[in-house]
Amino acid sequence: MMQIKGGDSLLSKIVEIPRRNHVVRPHRIDIGEKPAMRPLTRLVTASVFLLALHGVQAQGGVGIAAAFRTEVDRRLQVPDAELVNYGRLAESALSEAGVVLEGPQYLLVVDRHPYVQAAFLLLRLAGGEWSGIGAAPVSTGLPGRFDHFVTPLGVFAHSLANPDFRAEGTLNSNGIRGYGARGMRVFDFGWQRVPKGWGDGKVIEMRLQMHATDPDALEQRLGSAQSKGCIRIPATLNTFLDHHGILDADYLQSVREGRQLWVLRPDRAPVPEAGRYLVVLETAREDRPSWSPTPSLPKRKAAPLPKK
């Protein structure tokens, strides 16, 4: 686990459009763009970073980072320098979206670049520092076919305005369990206006969801763009986010107010720093980073359809 200081903007250009759930759509991000620093400034910055890193490793965030390593089976070993960039980018995206975080809380950051296709769990502390908890491969939208979209960029709130539900584990017409095994949680971020990934490219509405995928046919493809526009995540990451209430701030507040929500697990153990935001961005890269290996893409083998 590592920690980073937020506040530096690396977003080159931001274009805001009418949005729902605090959505802002940035252009691609060049991870190499950053303000020039004098040698002494770089030395002081590095010293502050290392001191902050030591402080966080000695106290908050260690338990959930250890749980991530134990409970999530498909993990990526992301260098600290990369996590530094993702924390800065998340800070900039939140600022551009007009989102002010009150108190420490977790965020999930997804990089949809074809060479990355990964989710990064970050904790933003009260002082503005960021702590990297863990990372895992995902699959975002792959345009080019009917009903396929590019996953939209922006900051998306996870709230009761768009209630979650759970997978039934049933097979679709292609013999695929689209939401994963029975009981997997489907995190719903509502309708978003997105250009069609086929035909005339007209902007229409797409339901943005984050969910597990078929454990036999599709999970091994995580790390490559595969979906219709939603974000596919490993089943163990789905269970981790669900059990620990990582993005359930609104849901947990509703429970404290006396509501009973069937979608929440009875055995849940929510973190005190539960958050509510998903940040989707795209870094600018010319090749695939070594920490995000190309997944195995064997010929799809779906589960057999039930006999009539």
The residue count of the chain comes to 308
- Tell me the three state secondary structure of residue 239: helix
Report the chain's C-alpha Rg in angstroms: 19
Return the percentage of the chain with pLDDT > 70, whole number.
77
Query: Tens digit of pLDDT for each residue in 200-216?
Result: 999 999 999 999 999 99
Cα distances (angstroms) measured from residue 139 to each of 21, 154, 203, 230: 22, 17, 22, 8
Domain spans in the chain, listed from the N-terminal domain onward: 2-284
Q: Which residue has the higher pLDDT, 137 or 43?
A: 137
pLDDT tens profile 46-105: 433 333 433 344 345 679 999 999 999 999 999 988 998 999 999 999 999 999 998 999
* Predicted pLDDT of residue 143: 94
Q: Retrieve residue 296's tokens.
A: 């195995």
The label of the residue with tokens 């903007």 reads: 9
**Residue showing tokens 């339901």:** 207
pLDDT at 150 over 80: yes
Query: Which pLDDT score, from 0 to 100, does residue 297 have?
Result: 74
- How far is 82 from 31, CA to CA, in rounded Å? 9
Band of pLDDT at residue 1, cut at 50, 70 and 90 = low
112 falls in which pLDDT band (50, 70, 90)? very high
pLDDT reported for residue 45? 41
Question: What pTM, to 2 d.p., does this model score?
Answer: 0.80
